[in-house]
Amino acid sequence: MPVTKEAVIEKLRTVRGPDFEGDIVSLGLVSEIFIADGKVFFSITVPAARARELEPLRQAAEKAVMAMEGVSGVMVALTAEKQGGGMGAAPPPRAPQSPTRPAPQRPSAPPHAPHRPAGPQSGKRGVPGVAAIIAVASGKGGVGKSTTAVNVALGLKALGLRVGILDADIYGPSMPRLLGLKGKPESVDGKVLKPMEAFGVKVMSMGFLVEEETPMIWRGPMVMSALSQLLREVAWGELDVLVVDMPPGTGDAQLTMAQQVPLAGAIIVSTPQDLALIDARKGLNMFKRVDVPLLGIVENMSYFIAPDTGKRYDIFGHGGARQEAERLGVPFLGEVPLTMDIRETSDAGTPVVVSNPEGPQARVYRQIAEKVRARLSEEKESSATPSIVFE
């Protein structure tokens, strides 16, 4: 018997917080409930200052719903989108004061100390076992970002690295189709998911958890919570690089991902025409503002090669991304042509890097992967080198 929203709500009426009266439903803390293929998604609104402290509340709600008949999975988020009705007045517990030891005073910065950007790892929690996380992003959709991400990831795998791919596009996940993956990921311990695998690369995507035609009608907090769980509640194992296929654009999801995840660098994908480059600049500026190193720009659909004659056509113009990279002082990683091979292999779930590894298109992606690996090494060395500041 399929699980219903009404049944989930009744079950959640049994969940109470640690220090307030009433259940989470009667207090108005539960968001709209979304159910797809036996999996239940919802959020619990709590005061932002108490989000970490109230993690057991999230776990209790998750456990309660998971025990229901017909439920195959649960994803619960703590959000602070608005003040919780019954918890807003609940003050955070006061930390005990020691009568004999005064609280340590934080030294103030020198009055003329120069500003130093907090590096990509500062204040951000990493993923155990993952050495480097890189984002593949674009200022807009339709520029071939996901195709670039998967082929660059496979290019890094061909270089001997241990690689994973996180499909961070909750609304339009592409990795199941691009990698020819079907089925549901298994759970390791009832909570942590085991990633799927294709061509020696570990993969996780929301597309594995819901059907392809199911729309994800979520607000920002739910999206960010889902991304956090797909990133941190997955048994990635030991990886040299985790490639994150970011959602298109520069909205809340992209900004929060850049601010909360210790990204080792970002790759921007654009097509040559001016309209795409305008949006690519927005992506570049977003990563700069949050101190994420820019690994470089890729010009996708750089030119078209006719399959019958081999003649080249610059359909979208040519060289715009290279010129933009030079203007901004950002590395240019390469030009990827628009060919039938790339389109057909992507649709078939056999990316060109593995389906035709000796072909010219695969060679371009491998060259980009080599430059990315080199840039990661450069960024690692520069971040490890202490800076001398004269005051």
Instruction: Choose among 64, 77, 51: nearest CA to 16.
Output: 64
Among candidate residues 295, 223, 234, 235, the one with its CA nearest the CA of residue 260: 223
- Angle between helix axes 55-66 and 5-12 (nearest 10 degrees) is 130
**pLDDT for the residue 101:** 40
**One digit per residue, pLDDT tens: the chain, 391 residues?**
788 989 999 999 999 876 667 888 888 888 778 787 777 878 788 776 776 788 788 889 989 999 999 888 887 877 654 443 444 433 343 333 333 344 444 333 333 333 334 444 455 778 899 999 999 988 767 788 899 999 999 999 999 999 999 998 877 788 989 999 988 888 877 778 899 999 999 999 888 877 666 656 566 667 777 788 888 889 999 999 999 998 876 666 677 777 778 899 999 998 887 666 777 777 787 888 878 889 999 988 888 877 777 788 887 777 888 888 888 888 999 999 888 788 888 888 999 999 999 988 999 999 999 999 999 988 887 765 454 444 4
Pick from 313, 261, 311, 316: nearest CA to 291: 261
Q: What's residue 252's pLDDT?
A: 65
Q: Are 210 and 216 in contact, with CB atoms under 8 Å apart?
A: yes
| Domains of the chain in sequence order | 5-79 (3.30.300.130), 133-384 (3.40.50.300)
Whole-number Cα distances in Å, 55 to 31, 48, 77, 79, 391 = 17, 12, 9, 11, 44
CA–CA distance, 22 with 152 (Å, rounded to integer):
51
The predicted pLDDT at position 111 comes to 36
pTM of this prediction exceeds 0.75:
no
Strand, coil or helix: 81: coil
For 198, residues 6+ apart whose C-beta sits below 8 A from its C-beta are: 179, 180, 181
Which H or E run contains 127? none
pLDDT of residue 198: 95
Q: What is the DSSP string of 129-193?
A: TBS-EEEEE-SSSSS-HHHHHHHHHHHHHHTT--EEEEE--SSS--HHHHTT--S-PPBSSSSSB
Q: Quote the pLDDT of residue 159.
A: 95
